[in-house]
A and B are shown apart, each in its own frame.
Chain A
Amino acid sequence: MGVTKEQVESSLKAKLNPSHLEVVDTSGGCGASFVVEIVSEQFEGKRLLERHRMVNAALEEEMKEIHALSIKKTVTPEQWKQQQEANQSNAAA
């Protein structure tokens, strides 16, 4: 009955036009629990709360079926780049 990872991905892609998107189904297959990471230009200049609101709004339909949605990352392409670089230099060090 639940929502599929593909449904979540397509809704997020359609509404937030992400440059990077990662959706993980953490429900063990029943489609009730997801973890998402999104990089989108649309987050520019928005507070974390507003970014999360945008994700919730994009998944409004799906949220009726989803029991738990963990939004791990909502960053701008700029922030994403910085984070990737920081991770790399950490790994190198």
Chain B
Amino acid sequence: MATSLSNMFFKGLANRSLTRPLNGLFYCTRYSTSVSNDSDTHDDFKPANKLEGSDISLANVIEQDVKDNPVMVYMKGVPDLPQCGFSSLAVRVLKHYDVPISARNILEDAELKNAVKAFSNWPTFPQIFIKGEFIGGSDIILNMHQTGELKEKLKDVTSKK
């Protein structure tokens, strides 16, 4: 009885030590917006939703996005399930290259959508940024793919492997 109890105890501990770092990782991703009701935590440590609030902070988010991600796409849907033919085309073109593709779904956030349009001064989606530079929409990325310009532009972007 005692052993089984202590086993359970240690099992519990082992599980905790395993899950904790993982939880931490999940909560660090930019997409996280909520935290479990853990009595160990405090509101101060809750992840803040960076996408809420004024246009200024949204512009900062975009600035950070395009700085941190060599290939950043603002699109309708997500890369594995685009919800618009043009967004789909842009992702298909980019997938020809062995580069990590970061993306945000502007259909989920009207404020972000407007902020991106203002940021790049471009009216439509998808919008593609490479190494912090605004590249354009699907017509441009397709054209650059065809002319070889895109290959040149992406050659120093590290592959995902």
Contact = CB atoms under 8 A, between A and B. Distances in A.
Interface of A: 48-49, 52-53, 56, 60, 63, 68-72
A55 to B, nearest CB: 10
B134 interface: yes
Interface of B: 86, 121-124, 134-140, 143-144
Main DSSP-derived SS at the B contact region: mixed
B130 to A, nearest CB: 12
Given A68-B86, A70-B86, A52 B139 contact: yes
Chain A contact residues, majority secondary structure = helix
Given A48-B140, A49-B136, A56-B122, 16 more contacts: A48-B136, A48-B144, A49-B135, A49-B140, A52-B136, A52-B137, A52-B139, A52-B140, A53-B121, A53-B122, A56-B123, A56-B124, A60-B123, A63-B124, A69-B123, A70-B86
22 contacts: A48-B136, A48-B143, A48-B144, A49-B134, A49-B140, A52-B136, A52-B137, A52-B139, A52-B140, A53-B121, A56-B122, A56-B123, A56-B124, A60-B123, A63-B124, A68-B86, A68-B124, A69-B123, A69-B124, A70-B86, A70-B138, A70-B139
A56 B140 CA distance: 13
Contacts of A52: 136-137, 139-140
A48 B135 CA distance: 9
Contacts of A56: 122-124
